Structure 1
Amino acid sequence: MELIGYLACASIGISLGLIGAGGSILMVPVLVFLFDMPPILATSYSLFVVGITSFFAATGKFRKGDVLIGSALAFGLTSMIVVVAIRHFIIPVMPKSFGHLGNAPVSYDLLCIVLFACLMILAAIVMINKGRKDDVENIPANGNLLSTIPYALLVGIVTGFLGAGGGFMLIPVMTLLLGMDIKKAVGTSLAVIALNSLSGFVNDLDHVDINWKFLLIISAIALVGSVAGARLADRINSKRLKACFGWFILILGILIITREGYNFLKIMN
């Protein structure tokens, strides 16, 4: 299973390099189901892998002029405050159990993985719909940075609690509300994801025991994958790929909810 897990980390990096978003949504399930890691710990590891991979990807985009620093800081600082508050004040005091339904305990780990599966389904729907449409370029802005604050807060909540980057939410907001072309939206969103994820991980260091050897190995694998994905990006139809990847995430999210629901009902009865 570990070999499959390492291959999955490489595929996450490849997807990030190819389409700029969506790959990080798989990191927590990979850590939980293939490396047998508790969901809450998996979110910490995911923050680092997603953060460091997004950072290097954003660096490459920046050299091409596809990162708008002002927008990245304005959006990122708002969401980063939420991430830091959640990881520093809320996660360390979260109860391990929220009571029982019948004979089955409603644990935080169960809620975390089910919520993550729901997030996967939401991300998949967005990716499938975007994959069916033409790339969004040069759309007149329907708002300004102030209008993005609710979305920045939402991204911060998702990253803080679940360890996902939120690129599937960031890119539509930046294209539709800020009028960015798709390349700049991808580059800027990567910068925001890196800022949020790494700040959240740093806040976990005082209450999480990190296996640095393992973390650096999976991060390096994801990074190599992202470099390979970036080099393939110009040769592959990213629109069709995004839709196919969305369907994969959708099916996986449904399977996770079905699996956890079945196990929960079995304990109840």
Structure 2
Amino acid sequence: MKLLTIVLVTFFAGMGAGLGTGFAGMSAAAVITPMLVTFLKMDPYMAVGIALSSDVLASAVSAYTYGKHKNLDIRNGLIMMISVLAFTVVGSYVSSLIPSATMGNFSVFMTFLLGVKFIVKPVMTTKEAMQGVDPKKRAIQSLVCGVLIGFICGFVGAGGGMMMLLILTSVLGYELKTAVGTSVFIMAFTAFTGAASHFAIGGMPDPLIFALCVIFTFIWARIAAVFANKAAPETLNRATGIVLVVLGVVVLTFSIFS
């Protein structure tokens, strides 16, 4: 019975996290962490470590898929990635000093609100318009935003992907597919750094739960990324919005009634 519970919880956690990653570059921790804590009674800090580990392969396969369809801006994402990586370690260390009970799910609200935004006000920026942004201005914004995103990603293991997507589309002027592709490219590295930091500080996780979360998240992220790259901008905005709203509501419900 316990094994069945573990398989079911990790399957649905991986499905939600994978869809969120493949469609919107969302951190897997926004879904996986509360589900592992609520249903498997896992320590929140360790749950974040498993979620970040699941993010690594899921983000990597998503980035590969977006890159294959030329929806990945590696050059302009490197500046943000370096600052995000540095402060992910800082955030992870600070979170280890704070009692687990205080680690909230504030990123859930961001997930829900961003989903509503995509439905109500879709991102229709074109790649041509994206190229018109001043390179120097974009570099400075990427550096500053990367510091903030990295700290939050390391601190709660969630919110980084959503903040990155919001910054890339609203501040840096990216079109949606390129924003998601660039976001998951960066998240693959930040998630690896965050996971390594968590396990180095808190020890290794349960191998079965760890493996199942990674595999299920990977599979669903691949499915979502393939669909997203073939979809029209209007369809992608709507699908991304719906996925984020549903995940936000579900995870918030888990948090309230756990």
In the alignment, structure 1 segments of 5+ residues that lack a partner are: 96-107, 261-269
1:257 Cα offset (Å): 5.2
2:6 counterpart of 1:2: yes
- In the alignment, the residues of structure 2 paired with residue 23 and residue 151 of structure 1 have an alpha-carbon distance, to the nearest angstrom, of 17
Q: Spell out, residue by residue over 1:54-106, the C-alpha distance to the aligned partner (whole angstroms, 9 max, x if none).
A: 0121122222222222222100110110111233x4344x15xxxxxxxxxxx
- The structure where helix makes up a greater share of residues is 2
Would you say the 8 A contact 2:89–2:154 is kept in 1? yes
1:227 Cα offset (Å): 1.9
Which residue number in structure 1 is paired with residue 121 of structure 2?
A: 133
Q: Which has the larger radius of gyration?
A: 1
Which residue number in structure 2 is paired with residue 154 of structure 1?
A: 148
Q: TM-score, normalised by structure 2?
A: 0.83
1:45 Cα offset (Å): 0.9
- In the alignment, the residues of structure 1 paired with residue 153 and residue 41 of structure 2 have an alpha-carbon distance, to the nearest angstrom, of 21
Instruction: State how many pairs are aligned.
Output: 242
1:222 to 217, 223, 226: 217
Say which SS state the counterpart of residue 137 (structure 1) adopts: coil
After TM superposition, the structure 1 = structure 2 runs for residues 115-130 of structure 1, keeping only pairs within 5 Å, are 115-116=104-105, 118-130=106-118
After TM superposition, the structure 1 = structure 2 runs for residues 20-39 of structure 1, keeping only pairs within 5 Å, are 20-22=24-26, 24=28, 25-39=30-44
2:73 counterpart of 1:78: no
Equivalent AA in structure 2 for residue 110 of structure 1: A
Would you say the 8 A contact 1:6–1:221 is kept in 2? yes
Which residue number in structure 2 is paired with residue 240 of structure 1?
A: 238
- In the alignment, the residues of structure 2 paired with residue 64 and residue 165 of structure 1 have an alpha-carbon distance, to the nearest angstrom, of 26
1:62 to 67, 73, 91: 67
1:253 Cα offset (Å): 4.9
1:240 Cα offset (Å): 2.4
1:251 to 234, 249, 252: 249
- In the alignment, the residues of structure 2 paired with residue 246 and residue 68 of structure 1 have an alpha-carbon distance, to the nearest angstrom, of 23
1:42 to 34, 47, 54: 47
Equivalent AA in structure 2 for residue 170 of structure 1: M
Would you say the 8 A contact 1:165–1:197 is kept in 2? no
Change (3 A) 1:15 1:79: closer
Would you say the 8 A contact 2:107–2:159 is kept in 1? no
Equivalent AA in structure 1 for residue 49 of structure 2: S
1:172 Cα offset (Å): 2.5
Percentage of matched positions with identical amino acids: 16
Change (3 A) 1:129 1:198: same
Equivalent AA in structure 2 for residue 111 of structure 1: T
1:256 Cα offset (Å): 4.6
Equivalent AA in structure 2 for residue 243 of structure 1: G
